Amino acid sequence: MLKAALISRVRQAQPVQLSYFGVIALCAIIPVAPLSGRAADFVIHVSVDGLHPGHLQTQINAGLAPHFKRFQDEGAWTNNARTDYSHTITLPNHTSMITGRPVCSPTEAACNPVGAAHTFHHGYTSNSDPPVTWTLHNQGNLNIPYKASTFDVAHDAGLSTALYASKNKFIIYEQSYNAAAGWPHANGADKIDTFANPESSLTMQTSLLSALAASDFEYTFVHYADPDDAGHTYGWGSPTYMTSIVTVNNYLGQLFSLVEDDPELAGRTAIVLSADHGGTGTNHSTATNAANYTIPFFVWGAGVAHGDLYALNQGARLDPGTGRPDFNAAGQPIRNGDGGNLALALLGLSAIPGSSINSSQNLRVAFSGDFNLDNVIDAADYVIWRKGVSVTPTPDQYNIWRTNFGRSAGGGSGSAGASPSRAAPEPAGGLMLLGLAPALLLRPRRRLLECTLELQAVGA
């Protein structure tokens, strides 16, 4: 009651004059939240097979894809991400999404050069239903005896995992990460706790929603096949293809509803969405065609700010325009292969062992230091840091906040935001502390700064 009254008072229009001891009194009743090392407690990693960003944007602009639009209105996004460089087909790109590896070697024309040094790419190029004996490990780049995945990292850290796909050929991932083929670990070799791959998005969606509601998997990979199926049969951009985008939009609406209505998932879930390829005509296999290699990349939810992904990642990623940079290019675009390590970073986990795409986990979905995700780095972010809400309160994180204090989101696409324009408050925090040594014994000087910033954040 006292805390609420004081906070209400400092939010009123009339100024409030707090003495040094008044600050101490108010600080004493502001609680410290428990620490958390994660931006999100749950991540849903979505791939929409064959999703062409131009056709998607047409449906968004027509008001027919409002749930896709939520990513643009509330999340970090771009319609100009890239697939793998050498392949624009389904299984090779999905393998890049979960392993963080290119399909082919960045320095060799062949996907499977001989030699132990060639251990960066996964080399899995098949796009057909695999024989029961196949795994990602005994196929593809044989210089790598085991190709670790997002499922390995999450499972071995004690998190629950699931994979829901709508094509039979996704069985390759179950065969690769089951109890027989998965890497031994104290938490078990079976890296995918729940797996389903019916040849139907509707059947898969029903099963997914039921399982998520019951189990709240911490890392879930979801695959929707509808646009790809429609594109191959009727053509990319055809009326049936455009309807398939609306169908997936409705699936996303159900997913949003579940996430926001489930008390365990609400406010604690991030969704990472991309595609394996686009398409033109009735095909997508030509890797040099922009219609095939250009894809959307959307992120929404816990730990995610609103803005253009390239603007948030100046210096870390380079908008390729209409180009097709290879993996040797100095400025890398955002790729679907970034998604796996981004998902793990949001969960507070390290990168996939052996990965090279986003292996430093430097793809940002918020400004560094913008802990409350309002695109302004100010005193309110200090409060979040101090309380350990969505960020571990380490000295490094404090220094990031202090360095970027005053930065805010800039204007159009490509802007990384205004440069810091004012200094972060120093430990004196605007208080006259000279001569108050006895009072400092009541509460450390650092806590006075922290509390002063908390009061600034609510308007004192």
244 in the same domain as 337: yes
Average pLDDT, stretch 76-86?
97
395 in the same domain as 274: no
Q: DSSP code of 183?
A: P
294 in the same domain as 404: no
249 in the same domain as 108: yes
Strands 161-164 and 219-224, by their bridges, are: parallel
147 in the same domain as 104: yes
Residue 43's SS3 state is: strand
Whether residue 26 is contained in a domain is answered as: no
Among 311, 346, 381, the domain boundary falls at: 346
Residue 408 has pLDDT above 70, yes or no: no
Q: What are phi and psi of 294, to 5 degrees?
A: -95, 125
Whether residue 256 is contained in a domain is answered as: yes
Q: The CATH number of the domain where 184 resides is what?
A: 3.40.720.10
394 in the same domain as 335: no
Whether residue 111 is contained in a domain is answered as: yes
Residue 361 has pLDDT above 80, yes or no: yes
pTM to 2 decimal places: 0.79
403 in the same domain as 320: no
Interior angle at CA 457, CA 451 and CA 460, nearest 5:
80
331 in the same domain as 383: no
**Residue pLDDT, tens place only, 171-203:** 999 999 999 999 999 999 999 999 999 999 999
> Can you give the residue range of the structural domain that contains 201?
42-346
Residue 30 has pLDDT above 80, yes or no: no
Q: Name every residue whose Cβ is closer than 8 Å to that of residue 326 and which is 6 or more positions away in sequence.
A: 85, 106
* Cα maximum dimension of the chain: 80
186 in the same domain as 137: yes
Whether residue 24 is contained in a domain is answered as: no
Whether residue 100 is contained in a domain is answered as: yes
Whether residue 49 is contained in a domain is answered as: yes
> According to the model, what pLDDT value does residue 114 have?
65
Whether residue 14 is contained in a domain is answered as: no
250 in the same domain as 149: yes
140 in the same domain as 90: yes
Q: Name every residue whose Cβ is closer than 8 Å to that of residue 371 and which is 6 or more positions away in sequence.
A: 381, 384, 385, 389, 390, 391, 397, 401
Q: What is the mean pLDDT of the chain?
A: 83
320 in the same domain as 200: yes
Distance CA 353, CA 340 (A): 12
Look at the chain and report how many structural domains it folds into: 2
Residue 24 vs residues 28, 371, 448: alpha-carbon distances, Å: 6, 25, 7
Whether residue 31 is contained in a domain is answered as: no
> According to the model, what pLDDT value does residue 205 have?
98
